[in-house]
Amino acid sequence: MRSFLLLTCSLFAFAQDPPPPQPQPIRVGVDLVTTDVRVRHNGRFVSNLDKKDFEVYEDGVRQEIVSFVMSLGGRIYNVAAPPAVSPTGVILPPARPSADASGRIFVIFIDDAHLDASMTPKIKQFLSQISAQLVHEGDMFAAVSTGPSSIEVQLTYDRKRLDPAISKFMGNGLTPSQIVAAPAGAQGNAEIRHNAHVAFRTAWDIMRNLEQVQHRRKAFIYVSNGYDFAPFEKSHARAEAERRGGTSADSLFTRQGGQFSEADLAMELAELTRAANRANATIYTIDPRGLVGMPDMSQNIDMVEWQDYVTTSQNTLRVLAEETGGFATVNRNDLVQALKRIDQETSDYYVIGYYSSNPDQTKRRRAIEVKVNRPGAEVQHRTEYVLRR
């Protein structure tokens, strides 16, 4: 799946030589590290803070805040832009202030290869609620699907483009019966892994593009049923044994590579969350199935295996959200309330930025801590980022 976001930004990839008389802090390249910060007191957003009220630390070392933005109700206020980084010897005119006062970018990521075909009407209705409840006038948004629905809306302010795209949605997830009946190789079901890798790679490509956008709240609305690289193993082993005329133990032995499936899945999730944190993008995962009960009677799946599958798949959604500062909406029917919460979290926030003073590029994982000079304030922000290889 090719990357579809063509994001335009004014970034310069050259470091500025410091004047000889005055030593300058050592910087790791010119990449600005930004993090969204949500400050609340007694549940209400604190909107009267200034740059001097914040302290940011990377691996315990205080950093100089060079950019500061506050958004209230989705509108940008109190902007302090970072100093421009120019090629040596080149004098640039002052940058023209942006006329755009909107601070929100939504990416609606529809993983139709992991959404039940039988629930297509319900999921379409929910996606329409995203259009009505979450995306407002002045918000920039994009939409993409991972499978045959072929939804591809590049970043735009035109809300009229969202509903026609949603109408194209069609769930294409494998049913339990299809998973059990499918042949398996040394690493299990190849189609399951392929579909998951396509989803992760598509999301990863989008995150790479989002890295180029600064001073905006970037929310990644991830609609999926979640992932499990080795679902219904016992049922599959029995079915494969029947096909081969052997025993269940023989069939399990042929799938010994499946024991690594959990580690492989964790590695894929970790790569995506690292990319999201580098882009300062928050993932909000939503399982549109709502409260998951028993499997369809026609699927003939053991209840214990079904519950294990539901738990594993929903836990992957929790990981994606919690590791990027978002939250997962799983096993609940009130999806509209979740959208309202996302709307609130993406409307009121601060964005602070700094250039890392740590020159050691071999230390790829960096811890972030933000402190606020306001007694009793609750501070939420991403806690780390990882340098690209």
What percent helix, strand, coil does the chain show, rounded to 5? 35, 25, 40
Give yes or no on whether 33-73+348-386 and 104-345 have one common fold: no
On the CB side of 122, CA atoms within 13 Å amount to 14
Residue % of the chain over a pLDDT of 90: 52
Structurally, at CATH architecture level, domain 104-345 sits in 3-Layer(aba) Sandwich (3.40)
Distance CA 102, CA 99 (A): 9
CA atoms within 13 A on the CB side of 360: 7
> Model pTM?
0.78
Give which of 194, 192, 131 is closest to 160, Cα–Cα.
131
Cα(130)–Cα(133) distance, rounded to whole angstroms? 5
Phi first, then psi, for residue 142 (nearest 5°) are -140, 160
pLDDT tens digit at each of 389 positions of the chain: 444 444 434 333 333 344 444 444 444 445 789 999 999 999 889 999 999 999 999 999 999 999 998 988 777 776 776 665 544 444 444 444 343 445 689 999 999 999 999 999 999 999 999 988 898 888 899 999 999 999 999 999 998 999 999 999 999 999 888 888 887 766 778 899 999 999 999 999 999 999 988 778 899 999 999 999 989 888 877 777 776 765 544 444 344 445 568 889 999 999 999 999 999 999 999 999 988 877 776 667 788 889 999 999 999 999 999 999 999 999 999 999 999 999 988 888 899 999 999 888 888 889 999 999 999 999 999 888 988 77
Residue 102 is given by DSSP the state B
* DSSP state for residue 374 in the 8-state scheme: S
pLDDT 10s digits, 96-110? 434 344 568 999 999
With a CB cutoff of 8 Å and minimum separation 6, the contacts of 232 are 176, 179, 180, 301, 302, 305, 309
Q: Where are the domains of the chain?
A: 33-73+348-386, 104-345
Q: Which residues of 43-58 are buried (b: 16+ CB within 10 A; e: fewer)?
A: eebbeebeeebbebeb
Fold (topology level) of 33-73+348-386: Immunoglobulin-like (2.60.40)
Distance, CA of 103 to CA of 330 (rounded, Å): 27
**277 close to 384: Cβ distance less than 8 angstroms:** yes
Instruction: Determine the Cα–Cα distance for residues 18 and 252; give it in Å rounded to an integer.
Output: 63
Residues linked to residue 72 through DSSP beta bridges, in sequence order: 75
Cα–Cα distance, 198 to 366 (Å, whole number): 28
